[in-house]
Structure 1
Amino acid sequence: MTSTLPNANDLWFLPLGGTGEIGMNLNLYGHSKAWLMVDCGASFQSPLDPKDDSNPKAKTYDVVAPDASYIEARKDSLCGIVLTHAHEDHIGAVTSIWPNLACPIYATPFTAEVLRRKFYQKGMYEDLPIHVVAPNTTLDIGPFTVTWLDITHSLPEPQAIKITTAVGTIFHTADWKIDKNPVLGVPFDPSVFHSMSKEKVLAMVCDSTNALRDGYSASEKSCENGLGKIISQAKGRVVVSCFASNVARLITIVKIANLNGRYVALFGRSLENMVSIARRCGYWPDELKLTHRRHIGYLPPHEVLIIATGSQGEPRAGLAKLASNEHRDCDLDEGDTVIFSSIVIPGNEKPISKIVNTLKSRGIEVIQSESCNETIHASGHPCRNDLIDMYGYVSPQVAIPVHGEAQHMIANAEIAKTTGVPKQLTGKNGDLFILKSHISIKRNFVKAGRVALSN
């Protein structure tokens, strides 16, 4: 029987969320009678039973997170929570789960600011142990030496994590892709990861989201031409819906609007909050001006560009209100254009389709990335060639695919095998990956589950 705490000769990986599914990432690393948590994410409009993820009739809850009761019962052995970036599926459950843990939290400045505001919204203002860590910093956290490494994704300050212990090193990629022209932040630097091959990395825990897609993930910069062409040709109002956290995309859209003589307004509190954080952290260019949403409805249609929340069909978001002609600040008319600068996240097909059909019935042109000849969205995750390159740089002894459903993780493991990684381990939430003193998986070590959180 495996002990519930690792000893000084052990190195364990225990995912409670995000392995066998896309989203809700919560990862535990164990060594020398201590645990380290990497990310603590949530999902939205999801069921509590993973088997119902694709069932449109399953009961869903507004906010869902991994069941953290295993580590809550062992909180005295938890050294801290390390956050890789500010996406909801990586930090969205922190404010709900942290009060039961009361451990230090480590995050880069942008992620820390996003998190602070989340705590403030819950009425938690004081004694928050959020330690702000500069990118590319190394810290000792209990028996773990943690190094934050710049990587490219789709928001400011994404970090991969290198975890070094006395018995081995693990490279945790978090969300990433190879982007040499990311619009915002530093370009992908292969030398950072190639240098790890000299360290004999024991295991690489790797994002699998796009492992079934050939080629490389498109650069964020590539969206500039596609969006620019469509917006420059539009006659009436333009509405662009995208993920609020993608600050680089927001900057691109506003730049294009300025070049085309359009005023820009934000429809959605999450967009306003994200731009405010980007300004505070120095990521928003001073020359990019925004118009208050209350003014945008009085302008001629050809001078209007609205960035709206709701790209996943959220019924209370800005785009849904515009589609149903219920937004108090602006109406859309026949001949206007709505651009979905996003993908359809599996499970959201029905609500998105409802909004698209409503818009089209009103004579509004709808452009979606899946059917558009222009590049209007770039994924933040690695495709097949990105993975081939990264496995080649790092040369780990073991590949552990995560952040994907079974088919994505199997594809990731096969890519690792073809690039010469000696061993591949695929599992699911609740499985214990034993990396030292021997390599194996203890299936169903923890009963993994989901819990509903209050907003």
Structure 2
Amino acid sequence: MFVSNDDEFVFLPLGGVGEIGMNLAVYGYGASNDREWLLVDMGVSFATSDLFGADLVLPDIRFLRNERHNIHALILTHAHEDHYGAVLDLWPQLKIPVYCTAFTAGLLEIKRKMDFDLYKIPLNIFKAGDRLQIGSFEIEAIAVNHSIPDPVSLAIRTPLGVVLHTGDWKIDKAPTQGALTDEKRFRQIGAEGILALICDSTNAMIDKKSLSEQEISQNLQKIIAKTSGRVAVTTFASNIGRIKSIALAAEKEERRVMLVGRSMKRSVAIAEELGYMEGITPFLSEEDYDSTPRDKIVLILTGSQGELRAALAKIARDEMRDITLTAGDVVIYSSRSIPGNERAIIDIQNRLIDRGIKVITDHDTPVHVSGHPYREQLKEMYTWIKPQILVPVHGDAIHLEAHASLGEISGIKTVMRIRNGHVLRLSPGKVEVIDQVPVGRIYKDGNLLGNENELGIRTRRRLCFMGHVAVSLLLDKSYELATRAQVVALGLPKTNDQGLFLEDILLDSIKYAFNGIPKKRRKDTGIVREAAHKAVHSAVNKIWGKKTIVTVFLHRA
């Protein structure tokens, strides 16, 4: 392929670098004024408690909208929400071809039918080992092991060099589901010469040996064997390997398995359709629950992250119609806590413990293994592919720095520390940040997308801390109050420190302020509104010590 003197190979993260989640990587090839673009992954983060009412956090793609005519495709490495969860919401703004593996396609199609049935995304299915020519990019999918079926790393070839984009991966010599990470192919690609490694940093701070999925299954079996009551295991719904580990452990102890939670059932249905659940005894239905002895059942539940509407949370609140847990039963958390979810998880665990249910987590005994590489596995990858450049991604600042330091002490020639929005030139010439594009976050709140102001999130945050007072004034033809002012105070104390009702105090303050306005000036509605606003604001601040939000409605008789 002809290479112009102006052509460059660049990497641009729009999400996932400096944060956990919301992964969106962009690769560019060509001159700065006419680049071809290739997108890898388009994920979400889950909204934290300070984003009042919002459900999801998505990357701001204003840069991509402006470059839409130059974007060839979006390739998804796997079907975790932080890698594919924004596709259905953002694709209509780009309408580009999407490439993914079969399991990812299955989950994406189920989500589309549930929530986005107005349009259909054309999906191009590929598998590990396939090569795709997309514009000037040749992409090879390489099998890796992770906590979900069909994950891949991507070797992205251009005339200016080859980049390995790892996606999420780990080295597991004894998985219960899925392929081994393809060491042989990584070594072969490394021998060809790798320009840059764009690599997962999630566990770059952890210096220990990673257990295999089969070892986790054995540990789960030991717990099940010692339990005389029911055993419930909660994990991520997409972790088909873990679900198989639990099912195998249960079968060895002569227990039947029941799936509880819609997303769990959907994931397993797709896995069964693709042949990933072969050798597993068919699962019980919820109708079988009452007739199955307590010591002959294992439940696999959604809700490992404390989600209020998930199966485990409902059981903890005793809100499930057909399923309950009682004293003597055991709940195993076979998952890690996503940062920000700790309080919700602990609240559910406390409810279970108060009912006499034993809770077991990875802190008690190894019942979970990460789907991401620890430091020793990162060093193995360096040895396999021998990159000239390392770019740590997929992590908070602390993870990225740990990964960068590891790369440096491992002898990688160039280690780049970048953040979302940085346009990093990989080749030719000096490896450096050459530009910065707009980045940010948008939010999904119900059915709507927007920023904090557009969705009212910022105002909700203020309401949470300050409350709101609504005042309604009705003036007669003589510009006197036709009736007593009406006040509704929401989120404020009911009384002051002497026990007097706050609304009564506010009514007196409004009346005093109104009477202080000369009658001729009451024709100016702005003056009346401002006087009532100041009176309420001042009274609340004096009593409560906080500045509330005040809205004044003025009516004429």
TM-score (norm 1): 0.93
1:410 pairs, out of 401, 404, 410, with 401
| RMSD, aligned CA | 1.7
How many residue pairs align between the two structures?
Answer: 439
Map 1:369-388 onto structure 2 (within 5 A): 369=362, 371-373=363-365, 375-388=366-379
Shift of 1:44: 1.7
Q: Which residue of 2 aligns with 1:431?
A: 422
Unaligned runs of 5+ in 1: 1-5, 47-55
Q: CA deviation at 1:125?
A: 7.2
Higher RCO (C-alpha under 8 Å, 6+ residues apart): 1
Distance of 1:338 and 1:290 partners within structure 2 = 19
**Structure-2 separation of matches of 1:285 and 1:7:** 54
Aligned-partner Cα distance in 2 for 1:60–1:13: 34
1:124 to 2:126 alignment: no
Q: Deviations over 1:13-32 (max 9, x none)?
A: 11111111111110100002
d(CA) in 1 for partners of 2:87 and 2:13? 16
> Shift of the alpha carbon at 1:286?
5.0
Change over 3 Å in CA distance of 1:330–1:70 after alignment to 2: same
The one-letter code of the counterpart of 1:449 is G
Tell me which amino acid in the other structure corresponds to 1:414.
Answer: S
Question: For residue 223 of structure 1, what is the aligned residue in structure 2?
Answer: 216
Q: Secondary structure at the match of 1:65?
A: strand
Which of 1 and 2 has greater Rg? Answer: 2
Instruction: Say which of 45, 48, 56 aligns to 2:47.
Output: 45
Matched with 1:49 is: none
1:369-416: per-residue Cα shift (whole Å, max 9, x none)? 1x223x210100010100111011111111000001111111111111
Deviation at 1:119, TM superposition (A): 1.8
Q: 1:421 aligns with which of 401, 412, 430?
A: 412
1:102 equivalenced with 2:100 (yes/no): no
Cα-to-partner distance string for 1:204-256 (whole Å, 9 max, x where unaligned): 00000000001333222221111110011111111100001110111111122
SS in 1 for 2:55: strand
In 2, are the aligned partners of 1:216 and 1:382 still within 8 Å (CA)?
no
Structure 2 residue matching 1:206: 3-state secondary structure: strand
Question: Which letter does structure 1 place at the counterpart of 2:43?
Answer: G
Give 1:138 deviation, angstroms.
0.5
Bigger shift: 287-296 or 376-385?
287-296
State the Cα distance separating 1:134 from its structure 2 match.
Answer: 2.0
Runs of at least 4 residues of structure 1 off by over 4 A?
Answer: none
Question: In the TM superposition, what is the alpha-carbon distance from 1:158 to its structure 2 partner?
Answer: 0.9
Matched, 1:262 2:255: yes
User: What SS is found at the alignment partner of 1:29?
Assistant: strand
Q: Does 1:84 align with 2:86?
A: no
Note the C-alpha offset of 1:292. Answer: 0.8
Normalized against structure 2, the TM-score is what? 0.76
Partner of 1:29: 27
Tell me the SS of whatever aligns to 2:47: strand
Deviation of the 1:352 alpha carbon = 0.5
Which residue does the alignment assign to 2:436? 445
Q: Deviations over 1:162-187 (max 9, x none)?
A: 10001111100000111111211222
Find the aligned partners of 1:228 and 1:417 in 2 and give their Cα distance: 41
Q: Distance in 2 between matches of 1:440 and 1:287?
A: 50
Per-residue deviation, residues 255-312 of structure 1 (Å, max 9, x unmatched): 2222223222111110000010001111112542111123213422112211110001
Aligned residue for 1:3? none
Q: Give 1:201's match in structure 2, choosing from 173, 191, 194.
A: 194
Return the match for 1:367 from 335, 353, 360.
360
In structure 1, how many angstroms separate the alpha carbons of the residues matched to 2:344 and 2:6? 50
**CA–CA distance in structure 2, aligned partners of residues 394 and 319 of structure 1:** 43
Whether the aligned pair in 1 keeps the contact of 2:142 and 2:182 (CA below 8 Å) is no
Q: CA deviation at 1:422?
A: 0.2
SS of 1:140's equivalent? Answer: strand
Kindly provide the amino acid, as one letter, of the partner of residue 45 in structure 1.
A
Contact 1:217–1:381 at 8 Å: present in 2 too?
A: no
**Paired residue secondary structure (1:40):** coil
**Residue identity (%):** 40
What secondary structure sits across from 1:149 in the alignment?
A: strand
> Which stretch has the larger CA shift, 106-115 or 139-148?
106-115
CA contact (8 A) 1:392 1:419 kept: no
